[in-house]
Amino acid sequence: MTIGDTLTSVKEAEKRGFESAWVVESSLTPGKDAISYLGALSVSTERIGLATGIINVFSRSVTLIASTMATLDEMSKARMILGIGTGHWVISPYHSMDFSDPINRMREYIDVFRKLVGGSQVNYEGKHIQIRNLKLNLQPVRHRIPIYVATVSERLASVAGEIADGVIFVLVSPNRARELVKAVQEGAEKANRPFGEVDVACYLPTFLMEDGERVMKEARQTVAGYGRSIHYRRLYRKMGYRQEADLLKEAWAKGGMENALLQVPERMARDLLIVGSSQDCLKRVSEYRRAGVKLPVIQPSYTPGDLDSNVRPCIETFGS
């Protein structure tokens, strides 16, 4: 979204009683950064929680993001949520760094972030992070900012269950969400913590429009677009769409979106996304709740300059 439409949408969502607003930052195709948007939202809203959804542990140092989040938490009067992920190896050339050992990097990152925001003098000797005699030169408003780990894999979901305040999934079917929730629960049990302490969030790309043909085309475009990434094609295979993943790989190798779009059947789009009338969409969100998702994050399809075709109807449908 443009910043203007983002401010308008989040203000309307706040009035409707939404709990939080999550600002996307793409690591696959770097564009607008989440932090700038969250700064604007921090001083333009009053109650709604504000989250990075998500930022990458390879593209920013833990020291930088600790100071950034502590600053945003002050600006927003203690409303910030840190959503972080490991991203994928394809981001390496974008940031002149080596993508390696993402799971352990995430463990170290969370450990050091909490120490820094907690006000400690940090001396840390990890495999990936080494810090000497560092204490943030500011007074955090809160000594614990909630951390949500983004994942579509059981291994990282389990780590989130062990050490994070929450986990957030993206582009998963209800059945896949159920599998990942089980992994989160196993991680919590491994760490001897109550599973109830771990929030389970899930991005739900939502297409709530009257024009059924246009809606389905946009929904299939979303699935096809993610299918350009080997990471998401691997996810599609895990969810039973092996042939579709292979066809998407071939389609993107030969051409662009129009070629890839033809490889996404309607049933696949309906399985991975929220598509249909208001009642259809509400029922689909209930499916995710039954799968163990505690915090559905509605992600409305957005047409530049047009909030009325889908964004506002989503805010009205899912608001209190």
Residue ranges of domains in the chain, CATH in brackets: 3-204+280-308 (3.20.20.30)
Per-residue pLDDT tens digits for 72-101? 999 999 999 999 999 776 667 666 667 689
Which contacts qualify for 238-247: CB closer than 8 Å, 24 or more apart? 238/176, 239/172, 239/173, 239/175, 239/176, 239/271, 239/272, 241/268, 244/268
pLDDT of residue 94: 66
Percent of the chain scored above 70 by pLDDT?
A: 95
pLDDT at res. 256: 87
Mean pLDDT computed over every residue of the chain? 94
pLDDT of residue 300: 96
**pLDDT of 95:** 62
Share of the chain above pLDDT 90, in %: 88
- Collapsing DSSP to helix, strand or coil, 312 comes out as helix
What is the reported pLDDT for 26? 76
pLDDT at position 29 is 66
Residue 187 confidence class, pLDDT cut points 50, 70, 90 = very high
Full-model pTM? 0.95
- Which of 226, 204, 223, 220 has the alpha carbon at shortest distance from 299? 204
| Residue 203 β-bridge partners | 170, 297
Distance CA 224, CA 124 (A): 43
pLDDT of residue 317: 96
User: Partners of 204 in the beta sheet?
Assistant: 298
pLDDT computed for residue 98 by the predictor? 78
Beta bridge partners of 300: 206
**Overall average pLDDT of the 60-75 stretch:** 97
Mean pLDDT for 147-174 is 97
Q: Is the pLDDT of residue 153 over 80?
A: yes
